Structure 1
Amino acid sequence: MLSPVLPLSAAALLLATAPAAQAACEGVTGAGKVRLTVAATTLRNAKGEVAVTVYPDDRKRFLAKGGKLLRARVPANAPVTEACFWLAPGHYAVATYHDENGDRDFNRTLFTIKEGFGFSNDAPTTLGLPSFDKVRFAVGQQGGTVRVRTRYSR
């Protein structure tokens, strides 16, 4: 006869090794809100977390201190990490960074960016930060998904 502890131990092992469930979406659900999923792609590893920041349709607030509309921090999952938000249909901009060391800071020096980053519309960053016009996108009545390619400088 099998010990009743064995099935419980097996179940505990399965639960411990199962992937973590995605956290609830940021923002408030309700009438007039739709779900936006942001998929940060091409992560090089599953260390730390990914910070996903949504900015409103206001170029003055894009990347400005205190300018964000919503932010989610989710455990990194390579090669794709997803976060979701409840938003009204409209125009937004998204910036992401892979916080590999989990210090909740985008680590960089004057000459080097040490962590991966990305912007909606895969906006180019060859000569500095992208303009708001390059990252701005529409969220329709059905919501949707925005894919953001993560770039690393080293």
Structure 2
Amino acid sequence: MFHWVSLFSLFLTTFSLPPSPPKASLKVDVHNVQTLTGAVYIALFKPGKEFPDGKPIEGKKLNATSHSVQTTFSIDPGEYAVAVFHDENGNGKMDKRIFGIPKEPYGFSNNFRPKMSAPKFSDCQFTLGEGGKSINITVK
């Protein structure tokens, strides 16, 4: 007699996917929040052309209720970069001056400060290992 349970068990053992790697914890501390208005946006990027103005793989919006804010991402180990801005007026976007220069405070992982143009991913890149990581970003 044919048993569906046996066939299903055979299928699972033969074709099961390898276990996914464990997630790692990335703690992001944002410092130097000058005004306690609006929100702090934290965008997490993997290598690619989207950094820093494109669509992040994950993002967080934190109310600016303290001069420093923290959040944690649970993500796969790998290479990442973080872009942050403080939306002081709460309009949901980064306000810019002429030539695209930001009006509102911003920062990047590695506390990289661009001189004349937006940073490259490699300027702000860091490695997240299986043991997790904590980074500090100062907005100016």
Pairwise TM-score range, normalised by the shorter structure: 0.7 to 0.9
The normalised TM-score by structure 1 is 0.72
Structure 2 residue 9 is the aligned partner of structure 1 residue 38: no
Q: Which has the higher contact order (CA 8 A, sep 6+)?
A: 2
Moved over 3 A (4+): none
Task: Provide the secondary structure at the position in 2 that maps to 1:97.
Answer: strand
> What CA distance in whole angstroms lies between the structure 2 residues aligned with 1:77 and 1:125?
27
Find the partner of 1:76 among 59, 64, 68.
64
What TM-score, normalized by structure 2, do the two folds share? Answer: 0.78
- Separation in 2, partners of 1:50, 1:116: 9
Rounded Cα–Cα distance in structure 1 between residues aligned with 2:92 and 2:113: 24
Establish whether residue 129 from structure 1 lines up as the match of residue 135 from structure 2: no
What is residue 10 of structure 2 aligned with on the other side?
A: none
Counterpart secondary structure, 2:98: coil
- What pairs up with 1:1-154 in 2 under 5 angstroms? 32-56=22-46, 58-66=47-55, 68-110=56-98, 112-151=101-140
Q: CA deviation at 1:31?
A: 5.7
Shift of 1:69: 0.5
Counterparts of 2:65 and 2:40, CA distance in 1: 9
* RMSD between aligned residues: 1.7
Q: Deviations over 1:92-137 (max 9, x none)?
A: 0000000111111001121552210000001121212112111000
Kept after mapping to 2: 8 A contact 1:42/1:78: no
Q: CA deviation at 1:64?
A: 4.3
User: Displacement of 1:145 after TM fit?
Assistant: 1.1
Task: Name the CA distance, whole Å, in 1 between partners of 2:39 and 2:123.
Answer: 25
Structure 2 residue ranges without an equivalent (≥5): 1-19
Percent identity for Structure 1 against Structure 2: 27
Supply the distance in 2 between the matched residues of 1:127 and 1:92 (Cα, whole angstroms): 23
Give 1 or 2 for the bigger CA radius of gyration: 2
